[in-house]
A = this chain, B = another copy of it.
Amino acid sequence: MMADFPSRIVIHEEGPREGFQIAERPIATHDKVRLIEALATTGVKQIDCVSYVDPRRVPGMADADVVARSIQRREGVRYTGLWLNTKGLLRALTLPLDLVGAIRVSASETFSIKNTRRNLAETLAEQREMLRLYKEHSIGLEWGYVMTAFGCNYEGEVPVPQVIRMIEHIYALAESEGMALKGIYLADTVGHATPLTIARAVGEVRNRWPDIKLGVHLHDTRGTGMANAYEALRFGVENFDSSCGGLGGCPFAAHAGAAGNVCTEDLVYLCHSMGIETGVDLHAMIQCARMAEEILGRELPGKVYKALV
């Protein structure tokens, strides 16, 4: 097919949540807040700041509530947090961050069981409960996320019909609760995607639902991250999750396969080189990556922030 590049994309900045949840040493709360506030000056309109998870499982998020309460907010920027279950959502409700409703299912049931201890039926039941809480608390529903849409470490490649089925489940769930979705994000949760699997899955979703908005959440686990982003752009995908500096990988868990999101400033550089607008100031984002490097005390995977640009 001919390339169908978008004229502009929308970036959700995932760096703080992705980076701090796996940090190999404690990061001072004020450093987390400092990075989030700097990111808010770059032009990104949504920053994922924390996750509402059990601090015994994710010690880096033990100060999530304090971080959430400390951010000096900037007009026009949404500061979000991630919840994976109703318990997390109930915690989010007590905090001053923006609440953005989502439906999250995993295309790989094995991954779902390992990650959230729920099979598909249990996940759908919990997501339904979540939708009811959204309505009860006037939280708008936005995106449906299909996690491990391009494969997982347990099941290997995930067949495209399984991704399609998950999207059907997401739409059926939203419809049965009388709620509208903004669109669908396909998430390469563990970095299994290649340009070929991007083309297959995105192509088939586009065939099936020609008009829905699409997003991708990509991890650069196997070096194909930017080629995957490029292929998604070629298919007209307009929404991207990415991480300042490529935050998210853990150097000490490297051989367990953890790697960061595609790098925000590298993605911005790529898009601008093709005349695709991002609304992000590249140089401001580079400054954030340098700040993140200084805070984490190690070189980050991003490239542009280390280069002359």
Using a CB–CB distance below 8 Å, which chain A residues touch chain B? 153, 191, 194-197, 220-227, 229-231, 251, 254-257, 259, 263, 265-267, 269-270, 273-274, 299, 301-304, 306-309
Contact = CB atoms under 8 A, between A and B. Distances in A.
26 contacts: A194-B270, A194-B274, A195-B230, A195-B274, A196-B273, A196-B274, A197-B273, A222-B269, A222-B303, A222-B307, A223-B266, A224-B226, A224-B269, A224-B270, A224-B273, A225-B226, A225-B303, A227-B227, A227-B229, A230-B230, A254-B306, A254-B307, A255-B308, A256-B308, A259-B307, A299-B299
A303 B269 contact: no
Nearest to A271: B194
A9 to B, nearest CB: 15
Given A222-B303, A224-B273, 12 more contacts: A221-B303, A223-B265, A223-B267, A223-B304, A224-B270, A227-B227, A227-B230, A230-B231, A251-B299, A257-B306, A299-B299, A301-B301
Given A274-B195, A306-B254, A223 B223 contact: no
A85 to B, nearest CB: 27
B195 A255 contact: no
Given A270-B194, A274-B196, A153 B308 contact: yes
A222 B309 CA distance: 8
Nearest to A267: B223
Given A191-B307, A274-B195, A308-B153, A224 B256 contact: no
Given A191-B307, A231-B230, A299-B251, A223 B257 contact: no
A223 B221 contact: no
A104 B270 CA distance: 28
Given A227-B230, A231-B230, A270 B307 contact: no
A119 B44 CA distance: 45
Q: Choose among A269, A307, A308, A309 the residue with the greatest number of B CB atoms under 10 Å from its CB.
A: A307
Nearest to A196: B274
A38 to B, nearest CB: 19
Contacts of A197: 273
Contact of A303 (B194, B223, B229): B223
A255 to B, nearest CB: 6
A293 to B, nearest CB: 10
Nearest to A275: B196
Contacts of A224: 226, 266, 269-270, 273
Given A196-B274, A308-B257, A303 B220 contact: yes
A231 B195 CA distance: 11
A304 B222 contact: yes
Given A222-B303, A303-B221, A227 B270 contact: yes
A229 B273 CA distance: 16
A307 B221 contact: yes
Contacts of A302: 223
